[in-house]
Structure formats: C-alpha cells, structure tokens
C-alpha cells in the first residue's frame, strides 16, 4: 500500500483522467478519501455505474401509473423510492395511495404474490449484468411454482456499450483508463472489456472494493497508460470467462435491446428486455424509450460521462441536496453527487 501511494504521489507525467463505472467503487472511493490521496495530475471521475442514477424519469412515471391501477402492487428496492419522476417520486405517489412495497430481494416478491393471488405484483427490475441473473431466477421459480401474478418492469442495462458510447467515435472522451466494474465483471468476466481496451488503446483494470485494492488498480492504470490492455486484479471473484451459468440463465429469459439512459438518450444494444416467449411477464418495458428530465438544470448526463464534477453543477448543494434531490445522482447512495456532497460534509465536519 505504502509503495503504491508513493508511486502515485510521485507521478509527474501528463494529466490523466480515470473513470470508475461501478456504483460501489464510487461509494468506496469517496468513503476512503482516495481523491485526496492522489496528485493533481491524476483525476478520478465517476461514470454511469449506478443503476438507479441512469434510470429515466419515464420509467418512474410508468411505475407510478402501474401502482395506481386497481389490482396492482409495485415492488421495489428502497433506493428507487426517492428517485424523481417527471411529477413525483414513488415515495410521494405512495402517500397518495399508489400501492408500493419495499423488499430486499426480488425473490421476496414470490412469497407476496403466492399468498395474495388477488393482486398483480410488479417488480421494478432495474440493474446491470449483476442483477439480471436474479430476475432470471425469479421468473424460473415463478414458472416452476405456477405463480402467474407477477410482472417485471425492466430497465436492465449492459456495461460495454455505454463505455463504448462514452469513449465515442471521435475518441475524444479524455478518459485515459477505466476501473472496470467489479460486480459486473463477476458475471461477464474480464474479457468483456478486452475489445474496448484494444479499440481505444486505453487500459481497463478490474478491481476489488477495498481501499487498498482500488488504489492498486489505479496504480496499475497509471502504469499501463497508453496501452490497450485489460488486467484482472480481482481474481478472488472474477475470471476471464465470467459466470457461465449466470450468463446462460440470463440468455434464456432476456435478449439484447436498445436502452434509454438518463440524460444520455438511447444507446444501441445497451439494454436487455424479456424475450418474446416470456412477454406475459412484462409490464410494458419495451415502450420506455423517452427521457423527460425533471429539472432542466440538472447535469446528471455530464456528470455520468465524466465531463464535469458534481460540484460544477450549478444546482449542487444549493437546490439539489440529498433531502431535495433534483436528479438521480443525488438520490442513490452509489450516486456521484450524493457521494460528493457527503464527502464535503465529512471534510467540513
Ligand atoms: Fe443533477 Fe443534482 Fe447532480 Fe446537479 S447536483 S447533476 S442537479 S443530481
């Protein structure tokens, strides 16, 4: 650890911008005060790695509309409750009678649906490659147990196409290396990033989640700058091939699709939707291709693509706070703006 810190702090090369694309990395980088340990020539930016942050307002609106229909109950993780829709959040809608239940695992919904056949239970199926296998398992168990009163409203994203989009056709993103997402890589394997690394001539390093592991990965990115190499430094959980069983389960139920990302628009091939043969379980996910920003001043898209830091958004800390979030980056504990403002609070006591 001491050696890595000395190496990083002695860096005097050209300025580097490194991006992490995993919400847990964002949270851990801030929790460990890593930006403050780096010299001015190494800048860390947070990419679109928080699934809640990249969910479009149209999706929240649709969930609320479903929860207000008689006979429906929306089921969700807690972090979705406060995400702003175009008019209100799920939490605000619940106060007006929209039926919403919070669970800790999608599989909890099976018990609810099995014991209450009078209602249709609709899960807010948001997530990346990491969460998709759980939704596949949910559907498999539901079919196996004859539970038909469940639906998924999916907003499932896959990581390589959005990284490709950030790097851009003009290769002018200004990103010099990526901390590849640890959880996603467990499922996809590190090879999912090899093509991107070669295409753009920048390194990708798969990192674990402890402060020391993240620092070591940053050190590796600095050493590998200018190369198109992919290195796996999280070998206790990630292989080159990934989890083939989980990949097969996802392929059985889901197929690739275009997806809409908050503030970024539709990115081809960056999502997953239920296959046609399982569309009886779909609550209308394929129609969600719009992105109506709630607050036009919100710079989530520029924050999520590393163009600006959260504190450069004119609303940061003024209109937009964790108590009054204007964009999803301020809602989730994995969001860039939420973590930046919490770091500031911690620094200033
Ligand atoms: Fe959006 Fe708030 Fe972040 Fe600005 S500070 S980008 S308004 S979430």
Ordered per-residue pLDDT tens for the chain, 349 residues: 789 999 999 999 999 999 999 989 998 998 999 999 999 999 998 888 888 888 888 899 999 999 999 999 999 999 899 888 888 999 999 999 999 999 998 889 999 999 999 999 999 999 999 999 999 999 999 999 999 999 999 999 999 999 999 888 666 778 999 999 999 999 999 999 999 999 999 999 999 999 999 999 999 999 999 999 999 999 999 999 999 999 999 999 999 999 988 777 889 999 999 999 999 999 988 877 665 555 678 888 788 777 888 999 999 999 888 888 887 788 777 788 888 888 777 766 5
d(C-alpha 156, C-alpha 168), whole Å: 22
pLDDT at position 237 is: 97
Mutate to test the pocket of ligand 1, among 293, 306, 329 (most ligand atoms within 8 A of CB): 329
pTM for the whole structure: 0.89
Would the CA dihedral through 341, 343, 345, 348 be positive or negative? negative
Query: Measuring from atom 8 of ligand 1, which residue has the nearest CA?
Result: 327
pLDDT at position 191 is: 97
Protein residues whose CB sits closer than 6 Å to any atom of ligand 1: 298-300, 303, 310, 313, 315-316, 320, 326-327, 329-330, 337
The token duo for 68 is 């207000």
Ligand 1 centroid distance, CA of 174 (Å): 22
Q: Provide CATH code, domain 1-297.
A: 3.40.50.11740
Intervals of CATH 3.40.50.11740 along the chain: 1-297
Alpha helical stretches, state H, the chain: 2-9, 23-31, 57-68, 90-95, 108-115, 132-144, 159-167, 182-188, 194-200, 211-223, 244-253, 300-304, 336-347
Ligand 1 centroid distance, CA of 210 (Å): 27
Q: Which atom of ligand 1 is nearest to the CA of 317?
A: 5
The two beta strands, 16-20 and 42-46, are parallel
């Amino acid at each position: 650890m001491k050696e890595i810190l000395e190496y990083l702090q002695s860096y005097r090369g050209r300025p580097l911008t490194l991006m992490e694309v995993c919400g847990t990395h964002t949270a851990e980088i801030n929790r460990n005060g890593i930006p403050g340990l780096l010299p001015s020539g190494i800048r860390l930016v947070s990419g679109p790695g928080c699934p809640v942050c990249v969910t479009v307002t149209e999706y929240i609106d649709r969930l609320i509309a479903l929860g207000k229909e008689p006979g429906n109950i929306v089921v969700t993780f807690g972090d979705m409750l406060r995400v702003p829709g175009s008019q209100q959040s799920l939490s605000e809608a619940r106060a007006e009678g929209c039926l919403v239940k919070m669970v800790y695992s999608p599989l909890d919904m099976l018990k609810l649906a099995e014991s209450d056949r009078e209602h249709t239970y609709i899960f807010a199926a948001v997530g990346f490659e990491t969460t998709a296998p759980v939704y596949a398992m949910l559907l498999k168990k539901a079919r196996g147990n004859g539970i038909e009163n469940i639906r998924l409203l999916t907003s499932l994203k896959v990581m390589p196409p959005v990284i490709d989009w950030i790097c851009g056709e003009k290769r002018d993103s200004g990103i010099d290396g990526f901390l590849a997402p640890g959880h996603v890589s467990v499922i996809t394997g590190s090879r999912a990033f090899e093509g991107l690394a070669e295409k753009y001539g920048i390194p990708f390093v798969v990192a674990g989640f402890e402060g020391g592991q993240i620092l070591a990965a940053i050190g590796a990115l600095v050493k590998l700058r200018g190369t198109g190499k992919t290195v796996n430094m999280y070998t206790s959980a990630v292989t080159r091939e990934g989890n083939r069983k989980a990949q097969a389960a996802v392929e059985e139920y889901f197929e690739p699709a275009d997806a809409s990302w908050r503030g970024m628009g539709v990115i081809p091939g960056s999502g997953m939707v239920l296959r046609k043969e399982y569309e009886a379980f779909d609550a209308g996910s394929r129609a969600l291709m719009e992105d109506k920003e709630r607050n036009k001043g919100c710079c989530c898209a520029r924050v999520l693509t590393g163009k600006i830091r959260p504190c450069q958004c004119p609303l940061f800390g003024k209109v937009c706070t964790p108590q009054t979030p204007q964009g999803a980056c301020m809602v989730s504990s994995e969001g860039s703006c939420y973590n930046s403002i919490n770091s500031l609070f911690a620094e200033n006591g």
